[in-house]
Structures are given as structure tokens and as C-alpha cells.
Structure 1
């Protein structure tokens, strides 16, 4: 993978794929974390006398919905960079070309939402050609989109001198090191709703980790595979068979697969639900497991505390509902306090650790949920492969 150290950008226009897929509220950026994550790359390029043409997606537009315009992002980015960031009215076309041609070193132009163009997700060759025509070089700093073979992540990289931005470079090196050269013991904390979404990364960790700690609704297919009652808990039927196989694999190998031994139940999925603790894991009819219990949280925190490397992806329960946030909070605090290398793998885990105000106390907070998991699984990411 080529890095910025190998790319000459002096006096050149550089097309930079960034991940500015940020939440908006009332026409303003509600969370600028992803914008801030791109700043080191953008500032380095500007210091090196480059003019920047930025390209990003926002949401999943179907018909150029104005509420998915990047205009609020341009405003916030300008504030953070301390410079005017112009927004092109389109992704490509005469106006975008004219605005790109006017750029001077240090100037920043943001193209409109690249997914306004239907050819983006199809990796359309014509769109990739038009994007390439806007610049002299290409930098991909959008790790969160690197697992997609799109025109702005894979196609255009084949058409210009290219390199990884600092964010993408750090993501790939950090996550690869977890599998290839972790400080031991390696503990993986895996939560969320579906076993099928994460069974490949669970299988991978069964080969390289010392312990896997399971939480969230995905524990219920494991419990069902063991013959436990799950009551009204969210239990993915398609996850039962792979959960059983994972349990069998763990029993034969050197990695411990740990499950909760107590739960916090609710009579419905709501903040005002009736709540009770269960000393055990057999959920009565009419109740659903919505968090790991305090004994499980304490046990998991102890595992995390003695780890040389911790990878965490997925909450321990319905942390968005305050009565059921304790388990996820306990894990977040344990990860923040852990003496070893700590990596939080994007998605809901990143949202949780930010919600609890602990994001600055982990070694690495990934910007790519799906991309993080696919890289750990051993898959080739098209946006990364194109930078070789």
C-alpha cells in the first residue's frame, strides 16, 4: 500500500476520497468526528502545496434528495480548517471542472454527494474517468468505505498516481497488527445483534485470540444452541447453527469463548420497561434480555484488565436505553482503563465509547465498522488493494 510519503503533490490538484458520512440535524453537522479524523491528511497535503478536491458520500440517496447535500459538511470543514471550502453543485460535469481548474495551492473544493451519481456504487468506468480528470493525483483516506469497490474508492485509484491517507494507513496497520502481531493475551469483545454479521470475525479470533467475550443480543443464539430458554429475547434463528459450530471449535482449540452468566431483563424494548436482574441465563416467557448482568460485566472487565491487546466491536446490550446501558458502560470503562493496546472497531461500539466520554482514552478508535471486520476476517478490501 502506497503512502503519502511516496506521492509527490507539490503544486498539484489532489482528489481525496474522505468519509464525511456524518449525522445531520436541522441542517447542521450533529457529530463531526469523521470530519476531524480526516484533518491530519488534509492539512499535510495543504502544507505540501497541494490543491484539494474532496469527494465523499452522505447517506443513501435515491434521487438527489436535498437533505443529503454536503453543504453543511462544507461549512463545518471550513471552520475546522480555518479556510473557505467551496461546494461544487455536482460531482462531475462542466461546473465541477471549472471550479477544480480555478484552485490554487492550499484551496479546498468539496464535490457534492458522490452517491447522487448512480454510477458510483456500480464502479462505473465513465464516472471514474470523469473523477480522475479533476486532479493530478488521488488519495484515499476513507477507511469506512474501503471495503466497497466504488468509482470513488477503487475505479479512480486505477487512473491516477495514488496513495493512502494517514487515517487509512493507520487503520490498516493497527487492525492488521491485531491479527498478525498482537501483544498477548489477545481478548476480543464481540457484541451486537446478529451472530451471522460477525461469525467470520469470531471464527478468525478463535484461531488467534486467547479469549472472546460475547455480549449483546448475539449471545441468545449461543444460549439456544446450548439448550437454554431465551424468552422473548431477540434471537437470530439463522445464528444458532454457526453459534453451535463456534462453541464446538472453541472447545477443541486454545481460545476461550465466554458467554454471560447473568442478565438484565425487560418486559419490552423501551426505556420505561419493567426491569429485573436474572441470576442465570434462562429467560422466562414474556421477558427479554436487554443487557449483560453485573457479574458478567465484572468478569469481562477483569479479562480486559489483564489483556495485552483488546479489540471491541459491538455493545453488550441496548445501551441506547439508559436502564440497559450498564453492561456496555462497564466494558467501555474497562477498555478505557486497560493498560494494553485497545482498539474499538467502529459502529455502535464507537458510538458507545463516545457517548460515555471515553473515546480519547483508547489506543485506536476505528472509523470503519464493516471495513474493520472485513479486514480482521482476512478479506481483501478493494479500496486498499487499489492503492498497491
Structure 2
């Protein structure tokens, strides 16, 4: 963290801070926010700048409008919410570049905030466009990146915009926390035993992580769709369970088994699974060994023995990271495994373990059990968290250091 400047390294008095936040929050049909975690975690950064009588220009994306402005993806719905949270009036501008936002920034008083419209209304945002970055740079004196959720993206506001703020760029307090907590795993700083649980449907996004963490993790628990390629490579029958067809995955799995044969007992796979004859909640089910799934059936949750085994490992862990459900938890009949994991991690945290949970599905399952407030830290970026665990510096962080 030493070489990365944070907002604590600057005094914002009489300065305009151009703050890249990630306000891409989930909403319902009435445009009401259903999870405001990302916004709440960015508030300390905003308050720090405001308390020093700096101006703030907030920039963010929302959804995937693909360069086409629309009411559906407008950020205007955030104005009232932010005003209430911050207890000051938040101004809004329907443009991100040009004379209008420049005028509004000029009219802004120190200690006030201006929220700009969705960055992704401009196709240039996702194309690392120098001209778009230059126009945005005119709106601030100091660039602040507090958008961990997109710090792994090669987007203009993340990687190109900071180039125009030589010596006057930094990360916000949300980003600082994310980096510090992830370092507990990446640098093996966490108290042992260290347990990392990886789930979800795709193994391609996480297979490099396994290679990186196997040297310092005490337990690697693998569930969900990620587990079936492991079982198949070991000669087991996985029926119609979801498996990514990728020769690279097969090659990497073989490499892991070959290279880490003396550490392979660190990796724990489910022993039994709940299988179904169709991909729907009301399908016929039964419990079988994970390596004996008949054709026409698919694994949709971990079984009772596996739940017990995973929870026992969690119970003796002192540092825990979780990303990805261990079953199709959105179907009630296949949610027991994921919900049990959520409760086990929350219970262990209450007894003194440090827990870090990331990924929308994992956090959603915590909320199903009303235990999201019992976790040490909820990461605001699933994809960025995974990219960090591959031990690669995120583009958004590199852009601050360079």
C-alpha cells in the first residue's frame, strides 16, 4: 500500500476531486435500490473530501447501455438517495463532457457535489479512448478511484483518465480497504488455518486462482459447477452436470494434479451431491456420490455429507474467503448447501475468524439467511476480487501508481 497514494495523502481544500465510484447497484422495477453496499462503502471517501471543503464530481457507470443514452440506465434516480445519505444537496448533470458539465462544475461551491450521467452512455468509455479521457480530465484537479468493482476493467475512466493527473491521483478509502483485506490472502498474512471456498458455475475464471493460492491456503473447498471438471478428470461420471468445454481447463487441471500431488489433500471436493432430472426447482431429485451421476441427471447442490464436511473445515478456520455458491441456490430445493455455508461462515466470524465474501450470488445467499452483517468484510467487486486472487495487479491500481 505504500506506493499507492490514497485520499489521506491529499488536502482537498479549494480543489475539485473527480471521483470514479461504482454505483452500479441492483434495483427493482420501481428503480428502488435493493443493495446499497457499494454506495455506503464509498461515503467515507466523499465525506473526507467534503469535510476539507473540496468540490466533488462523481462519475460512474450503470448497467450495460452500450453507448446509447436511455432513461432505463440513467443515474438520475440516485440523486435523492445520495442527498439523504450525505445530508447535502447532490446536483446532477445529464452530460459527462462538454461545456455544460464544465459550467456546472464552475458554479459548484466548495463542499458541494455534482453527479454526472452514466459514463457508458458514451461508447468511448469501454474503448480506452484518449479524447474522452482528456475531456473528462477537465472536470477535476485530483483524480480519485474508489470503484473497486470495475478496477479490473480496461475502461477509459479506469485506465486512461488517471494519465492526465500526474502526481495528483489516488485511490479512495473503499479501494484501500479492499486491497488491505485481499492482501491477507495474497500475501498469506491471515491467521491460519486459511480456508478459501470457490463455487459458481464456471471454473475458467477461477482455475488460475487455485494455482496461486495452493501454496498458502490450508484448505481449498470447491463446490458448484466448478467441482465437476475435477471429478471428470479423475475418471468420475458427472452425468449431464454443467461442464465448461475448454481444453485449457483440462490441461491446467492435469497440471495441478501433477505439480501439486503432495498438496492435493488441501483441495476438498464434494463427496455427494443432490441431483435432478431437469434444471428446475420442481424436478425429481436424489442424493448420489459426486462421481456416480447417471446420464440424464445433473448435480445442482452439494449433499448432506459434503455440507457437514465443508462446515467442519470452516468451523476450525481463522481466515476465510468465499466466492461463488455451491449449488443452484436461486432454486429453493437446491439452496441448502449454499445457505449452510453462509451460516457456517457467519457463525465462525462471530467466534473470532476473519471472513471476506465477494460476488453477488454469495452476498445474496448471506442476505437470505440475514447474516450479511456478521461477515468481517463484503467485497464490492466479484470480478475484481477474482482478478486480484490471480496475483495480478488490477489495471485500475496500476494506473494510479504509474
User: Would you say same fold, with TM above 0.5?
Assistant: yes
For 1:137-216, what aligned pairs fall within 5 Å after superposition? 137-160=142-165, 161-180=168-187, 181-216=189-224
1:325 aligns with 2:335: yes
Confirm or deny that 1:68 pairs with 2:73.
yes
For structure 1, the 5+ residue unaligned runs are none
Structure 2 segments unaligned to the other structure (5+ residues)? none
Contact conserved, 2:205 with 2:386, CA < 8 A, in 1?
no
Secondary structure of 2:58 counterpart:
strand
Mapped partners of 2:309, 2:389: distance in 1:
25
**Residues 1:289 and 2:299 are matched in the alignment:** yes
Structure 2: distance between partners of 1:295 and 1:74: 49
Query: 2:358 & 2:304 partners in 1: Cα distance?
Result: 24
Matched, 1:251 2:261: yes
CA contact (8 A) 2:148 2:381 kept: yes
Alignment of 1:208-357 (within 5 A): 208-238=216-246, 239-253=249-263, 256-338=266-348, 339-357=352-370
Name which of structure 1's ranges 276-285 and 36-45 shifts more when overlaid on structure 2: 276-285
Q: Is 1:17 aligned to 2:20, yes or no?
A: yes
Residue 174 of structure 1 and its aligned partner are, at CA, apart by 0.8
Q: 1:29 to 1:280 in 2, by over 3 A?
A: closer
Report the counterpart of residue 49 of structure 1 in structure 2: 53
TM-score using structure 2 length: 0.93
Q: Which moved more, 1:372-381 or 1:276-285?
A: 276-285
Please state whether the residue corresponding to 1:386 is helix, strand or coil.
helix
What is the TM-score of this pair, normalised by structure 1? Answer: 0.96
Task: Describe the superposition over 1:365-386 as per-residue Cα deviations: whole angstroms up to 9, x where unpaired.
Answer: 1111111111121112111112
1:378 aligns with 2:391: yes
Over the aligned positions, Cα root-mean-square deviation in angstroms equals 1.6
Residue 27 of structure 1 and its aligned partner are, at CA, apart by: 2.9
Check whether the contact 1:9–1:48 (CA below 8 A) recurs between aligned residues: yes
Q: Distance in 2 between matches of 1:185 and 1:284?
A: 36
Deviation of the 1:2 alpha carbon: 0.3
SS class of match (2:205): helix
- Map 1:47-126; keep pairs closer than 5 Å: 47-62=51-66, 63-126=68-131
Task: State the SS of the aligned residue for 1:34.
Answer: helix
